[in-house]
Amino acid sequence: MVKAAKGALLATLEIDRNSGAPIYRQIEEFLRRMILNGALPPGQKLPSTRELALELGVSRITIKSVYEQLISEGYVQGKTGAGTFVSEGLDGETPVVPSLDAGKKDYLDGNFSQTAEHISFSKASARYGSILPFRPGVPALDEFPIKRWNKYLSRAMTKSDITNFSYGDLLGSKKLRSSIAHHLADSRGMKIDPKQILITSGAQQAFVLISYILMNKNDTIWYENPGHIAGRDLMKIVGGDVSPIPIDNEGLNLPIAISNFPKPKLIFSTPSHQQPLGITMSLQRRLALLKYAHENASWVIEDDYDSEFRYRGRPLPALAALDNVGRVLYVGTFSKSLFPSVRIGYVVVPEILMDAFAKMRNIFGQTSSAITEEALSNFMDDGGFAEHIRKMRRLYRDRRDILLNALQENCSNILIPQQTDAGMHILADIKNGISDRLAHLEILKSGIDSLPLSIYYEGPAERQALVLGFSGVQKKVIPQLVRKMGAALNSLNTNK
C-alpha cells in the first residue's frame, strides 16, 4: 500500500491568514508546486481530506474543493475507495502556469532577479527534451547516419586540425558559413555573401542576439499568436512589449496588426510553416510585410525552423530572398534537419550589423564548437546533408500518412486531425469541449506525448487541439500508439 504524504509535506505548508489570498488558493498553489518540483512524485498518495483538514485547521469542504480543482487540472487523480494520488507521467511537466500571486511571492523574496520572475511565468515546457512518441519537433533520431557523421567528427579532431581545439572564428567557422550560403542559394533562393552569416548554437541563440542588439525596453514587438513559446518569452524577458498578432489563412495578420498595435521595432514570423498552425504565408502577405517593414524601419525575424520538410509542391522562396533592402533577419537551425543536440544554427544579418552580432556572440559565450562546425561543413559539402534531408522527407511523409489514417480509424469520435503538407507535426482539434491540457496529460499517462495547442497562445486559446509530432515515431508503432491514445481520450469523454 502506498503511504500517504504527510509529516514533511505538512510541516512546510504554512497558511497565511493575513495575506488576503483565499485559504483554498494557498493550499492549491502549495500542492501544485510540490507536484511540479517533484516533492510529491507521480503515484504519491495524498492525505485524506479529513486528515489534511484536521492538520491544517480548515474545513473538510475546503480540502475537498482543493482536491477537485487539482483533479480537474490533471495534477491528481481520485481512485474510488483508495484515495487521491499524484497523476502518473507528470515528471516535471508544467501543465498549468502558476498563478501570478503565488509565483511572485517566491521569486520576489529578494533572492531572485525580476528576470527570474518573468521566467517563472514561462509556458516553455520543463520536459523540453522529451522524445516520447508524438512529441512535436523531434526528428527521426534513430535514422541519423551516425557512422558517416562520426567520420567527419573524428576527422575534425585530428592533430593536423589542432586549430579546431581553440575558440574558432568570432563569427563561427568560415568554411561552414560558406557551406550554408550554398545551401541557402540552392534550397531557399537566397543569394548571400557568407560574410553575412553568423553561426549560433541554434535558433534560440539567434533570437537572444537579435533581441539584445535590436531591442530596447518597452519597444513594441509584433509576435505571431499562437506562436513559438521560447522566442516570445525571451523577448518579454529582454523587456519588449510583445503584441499578440493573430494568424489568418495568409499567415501573420498584417492588417489587424497595423490597425491595433503601435509600430513595431521587431516582427517575429514563421512564413514557411507557421509555428504551430502550419500555415504558409501567402506571397501577397510576404510582399506587404516587407513593404511595411521598409517603410516603417521595422526588423522582421524570419524563423525558417523546419522549411526542409515540405511534402507537396515546391516551397516558396524564403521571405529573405524577396528582401532587397535588408530588413529581414533570417534564422535557420540544424535542430530539425539533423538533431537538436548538435546545437548549431545561424542568422543571416545585414552586413552593417555583423560587427555587433559577432561581439555579442562572443560576450554571450560563443557556444557552438569549432569541431562540430568543421564536421558539419564537410558533411554538407560532400552531399551527406542533402541526402539525409531527401531521405527524411520521404520517411516523414509516410509517417504523416500513417498517423492521419490511424487517427481517422481510431479517434474520429474525439479528434479532428488537420491535413498538412509540411513540417513535423499535425494538429488534431478535440471534440466535445475537452481541454487540450487535460487531454495532453491523460495520454501522457500511457507514455504518449504531444503538446496542447493552447500553451502556444498568449491569452485565451481559440481552439483546443493536440499538436502531434509524427517525424520521430516509427511507422510500425504508430497504429498501436494511436489506439492507446484513442482509449485514453475516450476515458476522458466518458468521465465528463
Ligand X SMILES: Cc1ncc(COP(=O)(O)O)c(C=O)c1O
Interface residue list for ligand X (CB under 6 A): 137, 202-204, 228, 270, 275, 303, 305, 333, 335, 340, 345
To ligand X, the closest distance from the beta carbon of 375 in angstroms equals 17
Written as one letter, the residue type at 433 is: G
* Contact in structure between 380 and 370 (CB atoms under 8 Å): no
Name which of 66 and 301 has its Cβ closer to ligand X.
301
To ligand X, the closest distance from the beta carbon of 343 in angstroms equals 7
User: Which one-letter DSSP state was computed for residue 91?
Assistant: T
Name which of 253 and 270 has its Cβ closer to ligand X.
270
Q: Which residue is nearest to ligand X (CB)?
A: 202
Cell of 369: 564548437
Written as one letter, the residue type at 10 is: L
Name which of 53 and 318 has its Cβ closer to ligand X.
318
To ligand X, the closest distance from the beta carbon of 206 in angstroms equals 8
Name which of 270 and 372 has its Cβ closer to ligand X.
270
Name which of 244 and 340 has its Cβ closer to ligand X.
340
Three-class HEC string of 248-276: ECCEECHHHHHHHCCCCCEEEECCCCCCC
* Contact in structure between 180 and 334 (CB atoms under 8 Å): no
Non-local (6+) Cβ contacts of 235 within 8 A are: 207, 211, 215, 221, 223, 242, 266, 268
User: Which one-letter DSSP state was computed for residue 104?
Assistant: H
Neighbour-count burial for 269-297, b at 16+ CB within 10 Å, e otherwise: bbbbbbbbbbbbbeeebbebbbebbeeee
The alpha carbon of 154 is separated from its chain's Cα centroid by a whole number of angstroms, namely 32
To ligand X, the closest distance from the beta carbon of 229 in angstroms equals 8
Name which of 451 and 482 has its Cβ closer to ligand X.
451
Name which of 44 and 270 has its Cβ closer to ligand X.
270
* Contact in structure between 395 and 337 (CB atoms under 8 Å): no
User: Which one-letter DSSP state was computed for residue 369?
Assistant: -
To ligand X, the closest distance from the beta carbon of 50 in angstroms equals 46
Name which of 56 and 342 has its Cβ closer to ligand X.
342
Name which of 303 and 449 has its Cβ closer to ligand X.
303
Name which of 172 and 202 has its Cβ closer to ligand X.
202
Q: How many residues does the chain have?
A: 496
To ligand X, the closest distance from the beta carbon of 306 in angstroms equals 8
Q: Are strands 220-225 and 266-269 parallel, antiparallel or unpaired?
A: parallel
Cell of 438: 487535460
Neighbour-count burial for 105-119, b at 16+ CB within 10 Å, e otherwise: eebeeeeeeeeebbb
Q: Bridge partners of 269?
A: 302
Q: Bridge partners of 244?
A: 223
To ligand X, the closest distance from the beta carbon of 4 in angstroms equals 39
To ligand X, the closest distance from the beta carbon of 307 in angstroms equals 11
To ligand X, the closest distance from the beta carbon of 66 in angstroms equals 35
Question: How far is it, in rounded angstroms, from Cα 488 to Cα 88?
Answer: 13
* Contact in structure between 97 and 121 (CB atoms under 8 Å): yes
Distances from the Cα of 312 to the Cα of 273, 397, 407, 420, angstroms: 13, 9, 21, 9
To ligand X, the closest distance from the beta carbon of 225 in angstroms equals 13
Question: How far is it, in rounded angstroms, from Cα 136 to Cα 428?
Answer: 13
Name which of 87 and 369 has its Cβ closer to ligand X.
369
Name which of 418 and 490 has its Cβ closer to ligand X.
418
Question: How far is it, in rounded angstroms, from Cα 148 to Cα 382?
Answer: 11
To ligand X, the closest distance from the beta carbon of 62 in angstroms equals 41
Question: How far is it, in rounded angstroms, from Cα 347 to Cα 192?
Answer: 12
